[in-house]
Structure 1
Amino acid sequence: MTKQDIIPIRSNFLDNKTVEEMGKEMVKCCEGLPSAILDFIGFMDIRKHTSWMEVRRNLESFVRMSQEVGTTLKSLTLSYDNLPHDLKQCFLYLGHSHEHSRIEAEKLYLLWLAEGLISVEDRGREEMLLNVAERYLEDLARRSMIEVHEDEVTTVTRFSSCQLSQQMRRLCLMKNEEQNFFKVVDFGCETQQVTGSSSSDRLSIHFDKYRRIYGFQIDHAEEKKIRCLLFSAKQSQHEFVWPQQLSSLVKFKYLRILEFVGISFQVTSLILEGIGKLVHLRYLSFRDCTLLELPSSIGNLKLLYILDLRVVNTMVIPDVLWKLKKLKHLYFPLSFKTRRAHKLRLDGLTDLETVTNLNLKMCDVEDLFELYNLHYLALSIPGSLQEIELIVKLMNMNSEARSLRVSLEVSKFDCYTEERLAALKQLLGCQSLIVLCFGGHISRLPLHEEISSNLAKIVLDGSELMEDPMPTLEKLPKLRVLILGNDVFAGKTLSCSAPGFIELRRLELLNLQYLEKWTVEEGAMLRLSNLTTVDCKKLKELPKGLLSVSTLQQIRVKGMCKEFKESISRFQDELTITIED
C-alpha cells in the first residue's frame, strides 16, 4: 500500500493537513502492509477516547500494540473457525447485545431455540431443549469464547448470564458483518451507529436516546426478508415518537422472533395492531415493557413456542392462552388480572415445559394436571388449604414420572390447626420443591429428615417459631439462600453449629425484634458470601465464628444498634461493608 492509498482517519478531531501527515507516518510505520494498517485502524476504533495527538506523539508504540491486537484477533478467529456450524451461529447471536453488558442466559437459550439452532438429536431422555442450549453455552465457555456466571439458585438453568470480552466482542461483530448475520441500529450514540447490512434477516434496534426523527430506512425487500426483530429501550420518555418506518408490524409477515424490551405501549399502542397476523411467530416477548392489556389476537399465533409477558405493570390478560397449543415456555407478569375476573384456561397446553409467575387466583390448579411435559413451575398460592393439597398432589405425582422442579410462594397461610400443620409438613417433604417462600404462622418446623433435601432457597416470613430453626435448617444439604424475616423466630438466641449450612451463599436476618444473641461455630457456613442484617435492634454483635469464613464478601447492615455496628470492625478490610441508618 502506498502513501496515496491512505485509509481516512476521523477528521473531525484534527485539521486535514495533520490527518494527512499522520496517515503518511502510519503507512511508513506499518511498512505499507495492508494487514498491519487494518490492524492499526481496528485497534484505534476500539480506543474511541484516545487523544489523536497522543497517538501522533507515540505512533510507533501504538502501531506495535495494534499489531499485537491484530495477532490476537487472528488467533481468536482460528478458535471461531474450529467451532461446529451450530455453535458458530449461537456465538454470532451474542453480537446484538450492548458493549460490556451481561447477556441473560435463559433469554439467549430461548432465542436460539426459536431460531432452530438447538438440535433435537442432542436432547437426552427427559431433557428440555433448554438443557441442550445450556450445554452449548458451556461448550463456548470451555473454548474460552465467553465468560459465564452461575445463578445463585438453579431453577430452570444453571447459568444466570454470559459476557463477551472486548476482543471476543470485536471478533463477534467482525464475523457478524462478514456473514450478514445481524443488522444492529443503535440510537444510543451521539451519531447513529449501524452494523451489519440490509441483506441480513435479523434486525436489532436500540432506542437508548429517543428522538423525533430516526434516520434509517427499511425497504420492501428487507421487510419481506426479516425473520427476527428485536427492539430495546433504556430511557423512557413521554415525547417518544415511534419511527414511522415501523408503524405497522404486519408487513414483516415472515417474522419468527419479535421482542420488545423496555418499550412503553402507552405511547406506541398502535404498533400492536394486527400482531395476530404474524402467524409464523415462535417467540414473542414484552419483557420490562409497559403494556396495560395483551391483545386478544395473540390467540391466533398457533406456532408460538415462547411467550414472555413479564411487564412492569399490572396487565390484563384475555382468556386466549389455551389456543396456543405449541407453547413450551410461558412467563406471566408478577401482577396480572383477567377480564371480568374469569380464570384463565391452561388446559390443552400439553407441550408446556416451563411456567413462571403463575397465580392460582387467576388460573385453575386442576389444569396443571394436564401439563404432562412440565419441567419447571413457579407459582403463588394465596393461603388456600385446598390448593396447597392439590399442589402437593401434583408434585408427588410428577416426581414419580419426571424431574419437575417447583418454586412456590405461599402467602397468608397460618398453621394454627393440626390439619394445616400436616399440609405444611407434606409440602416441605416434596422432593420437587426447590424454592419456598412461606408467609404465615408456623409455630414449629418438621424434623430435617422430613424436609426435602432439594430445597435450595427458603424464605420464611412471620412464622413466630418458638424453637431455634437453625439446627433444622443447617442440615439441608443444598440450601444456598436463607431469608428469615418479620418475627420468624420468637426466641432470643440463634445458634449455628459446624459443619452446618455447607452450601449456604446468602443469609438475611430481617426485623427479628426478639433476637439478642447469634452464635456461629468455627467451621459453619464456610461458603457464605453475602450477609444482611436489618432491624434486629437487640442484637449486639456479629458472631465471631464468621471471622473464619474466608468466602464472605459483603455485609449489609441497616437499622442496627451502635454496638453491632462497632463489632463489624473485626472483619477483613477487603470486605464490602454497607452500613445504613
Structure 2
Amino acid sequence: MSHVRTLIALGFAFQWIPPLSRFSVLRVLALHYSPNNKNNLNGLGSLHHLRYLELRGAVESEFVEEIGNLKHLKILVLQYASILELPPSIVQLTQLELLVTNRWTKFPDGIGNLVSLQQLGVLDLQTKPLFNFAELGNLSELRILAISGLDKFDESDMKTFFQSLSNLHNMHTLRIQDTILHSPDCMPDQWSGPAHLQCFDGSGSSLSKLPRWFSSLSELSCLSIKVKMLRQGDLQLLGGLPLLRSLDLTVDFNGTTEERLVIGADQPFRSLINFMFHNYTRCWLVFSPGAMQKLQMLVLYFQVQKREDGCFDVGLENLTSLKQAKVVVDCLRARVAAVEDAEAKCRDAIDKHPNSPTLQLSRNHDLYLKKDENKGHNEASKQQR
C-alpha cells in the first residue's frame, strides 16, 4: 500500500479498505459511505501528502476531526456528505483552493485564514453560529462563490457583507441560492460589485427590482436573475452591458411590471447570443427591428391567460441572426382558442424569418385548459340535429 497514490472506494468495496495509515503517499482519496458500512476508518490525519479529498454519504464527524493535519490538501468536496459542521482545524488548511459543502454545513470561525481558497460554496450565511462576514473579505484569491440565506439579515449586516464582496477583486462568479430578497436595500444601488465579475446567477433568489450597480459590470458575460418588477429602463441597462452573451431573465409570479416592453436598436445587447425570458405576469415583450442582432437561441415562456387581449405578436422575425427558438405556452386557465392563436402567431413569425430558424413549441399545464364555450355549444347543436 505504500506506493498507492489514488484510492476510490464505493459501496461494498468500502469494507475491505485497510487502515488509511498504510497509504503513506496517497494523493487522491474518494470515499462513498453507505448505511451498511462496517469498516470504521480512521487515520485521515496521517495522509500528509493528500491533495484531493471527497467524502459522500453518512460520514462520521469524528473521521474529519484531524483534517487540519492535511497541510497540502488543495481540494475538499463534501457536497454529498452528511457532515453538518466543519471541524475547527479546517482553518489550518492554508493551501486549500476548493471547498464545496452542502448548504446546511456550519463553518467555524477563522475561515478567513484559508488565503489560497479560489472556490467556496455553498456558504449558508444563516447557520448558527452566524458566519463572520468580515472574514469573507480576507479571501483575496476567491474566484467562485455560492451563498444562501441572505434574506435573514438586517441592513447593517448587508452593508458588511457587500463591502466584503467588494474586496474580492479576483472573483468572477457569484451564485445566490434559496434566498428571497424582498428589500432593495439587500442589494444597495450604490454598491459597485466585484470589478471583474463575469457570471452572476441569482436564479435562486427573487429580487424586488434590478440593482442599478449591474450597469458597472463591464465584464459580465453570463447573467441569470429573477425580479418582481421589470421596467423599460431595466432593459436599457442590461442592453448596455458590452460583453453579455447569455441572459436568463425571469419576471416572478404576481410581479408588477409595465404592460409592454420593447427591445430594439436602443437596447443594443451587442454580444448577446442566448436569451431566456420566463414571464409569469401580464408583461409582454416585443422585439422591434434592430433588436439583439447577434442572438442565435431564444427561449420564451409566457402565460396565455394573462394576455386577455389576445395580442401575441412578439416580433421574432426581427431577430435577424436567430437559429433556434423554443416557446413554452403556459395553458393554465387559458382558453383553447387563445392557446392555439398564440402558437399560430409564433409559427407565422418563424415562417417569415429569412434564416428559417427551428421552432420548438410546447405546452405547460395543458390539463388545465378551459374549454371553448362557443365550440361546445356548436357541437351540442350538431348532436341535437
RMSD: 3.4
- Aligned: 1:246 with 2:17: yes
Q: Is the 8 A contact 1:249 1:271 kept in 2?
A: no
From 80, 91, 94, give the equivalent of 1:322.
91
- Aligned: 1:555 with 2:326: yes
From 80, 85, 88, give the equivalent of 1:311.
80
Please give the alpha-carbon distance, in whole angstroms, between the structure 1 residues aligned to 2:173 and 2:226. 19
Q: Which residue of 2 aligns with 1:496?
A: 263
Higher strand proportion (structure 1 or 2): 2
Q: Which residue of 1 aligns with 2:212?
A: 446
> 1:562 corresponds to which letter in structure 2?
E
Q: How far off is 1:254 after superposition? A: 1.7
Q: Which residue of 1 aligns with 2:360?
A: 577
Q: How far off is 1:284 after superposition? A: 1.0
Q: Is the 8 A contact 2:325 2:357 kept in 1?
A: no
Q: How far off is 1:424 after superposition? A: 2.1
- Aligned: 1:350 with 2:115: yes
Q: Is the 8 A contact 1:292 1:316 kept in 2?
A: no
Q: Is the 8 A contact 2:226 2:251 kept in 1?
A: yes
After TM superposition, the structure 1 = structure 2 runs for residues 70-469 of structure 1, keeping only pairs within 5 Å, are: 223-230=1-8, 241-242=12-13, 244-246=15-17, 248-260=19-31, 263-268=32-37, 270=39, 272-286=41-55, 289-291=56-58, 295-311=64-80, 315-333=84-102, 335-338=103-106, 343-362=108-127, 363-383=131-151, 384=153, 385-399=155-169, 403-409=170-176, 411-415=179-183, 420=185, 423-427=187-191, 429-434=193-198, 435-437=200-202, 439-440=205-206, 442-443=208-209, 446=212, 450-465=215-230, 467=232, 469=234
Please give the alpha-carbon distance, in whole angstroms, between the structure 1 residues aligned to 2:83 and 2:328. 32
Change (3 A) 1:248 1:388: same
SS in 1 for 2:166: helix
> TM-score scaled by structure 2?
0.73
Please give the alpha-carbon distance, in whole angstroms, between the structure 2 residues aligned to 1:568 and 1:349. 53
> TM-score scaled by structure 1?
0.50
1:254-274: per-residue Cα shift (whole Å, max 9, x none)? Answer: 2111235xx453343736543
Q: Is the 8 A contact 2:72 2:95 kept in 1?
A: yes
Change (3 A) 1:548 1:432: closer
Please give the alpha-carbon distance, in whole angstroms, between the structure 1 residues aligned to 2:8 and 2:12. 17
Q: How far off is 1:319 after superposition? A: 3.5
Q: How far off is 1:366 after superposition? A: 1.5
After TM superposition, the structure 1 = structure 2 runs for residues 39-50 of structure 1, keeping only pairs within 5 Å, are: none
Q: Is the 8 A contact 2:14 2:39 kept in 1?
A: no
Q: How far off is 1:281 after superposition? A: 0.6
Q: Which residue of 2 aligns with 1:568?
A: 346
Structure number with higher relative contact order (C-alpha < 8 Å, ≥ 6 residues apart) = 2
Q: Is the 8 A contact 1:459 1:482 kept in 2?
A: yes
Change (3 A) 1:316 1:496: same
SS in 2 for 1:337: coil
Please give the alpha-carbon distance, in whole angstroms, between the structure 1 residues aligned to 2:12 and 2:8. 17
Instruction: Could you tell me which runs of 5 or more consecutive residues in structure 2 were left unpaired when the two chains were aligned.
Output: 332-338, 365-385
Change (3 A) 1:542 1:300: farther
Q: Is the 8 A contact 1:504 1:527 kept in 2?
A: yes
> 1:459 corresponds to which letter in structure 2?
S
Please give the alpha-carbon distance, in whole angstroms, between the structure 2 residues aligned to 1:451 and 1:390. 20
Please give the alpha-carbon distance, in whole angstroms, between the structure 1 residues aligned to 2:202 and 2:51. 33
Q: Which residue of 2 aligns with 1:483?
A: 249
Higher helix proportion (structure 1 or 2): 1
Change (3 A) 1:387 1:276: same
Instruction: Could you tell me which runs of 5 or more consecutive residues in structure 1 were left unpaired when the two chains were aligned.
Output: 1-222, 233-239
Q: Which residue of 2 aligns with 1:538?
A: 306
Q: Is the 8 A contact 1:354 1:377 kept in 2?
A: yes
Q: How far off is 1:476 after superposition? A: 1.2
SS in 2 for 1:390: helix
Q: Which residue of 2 aligns with 1:20?
A: none
1:374-398: per-residue Cα shift (whole Å, max 9, x none)? Answer: 3443333512333432243234334
Q: Which residue of 2 aligns with 1:474?
A: 239
SS in 2 for 1:566: helix
Larger Rg: 1
SS in 2 for 1:393: helix
Q: How far off is 1:346 after superposition? A: 0.5
Please give the alpha-carbon distance, in whole angstroms, between the structure 1 residues aligned to 2:341 and 2:282. 17
Please give the alpha-carbon distance, in whole angstroms, between the structure 1 residues aligned to 2:235 and 2:82. 38
Q: How far off is 1:282 after superposition? A: 0.9
1:536-562: per-residue Cα shift (whole Å, max 9, x none)? Answer: 643553622456443433515141533
Change (3 A) 1:267 1:490: farther
Please give the alpha-carbon distance, in whole angstroms, between the structure 2 residues aligned to 1:447 and 1:369. 19
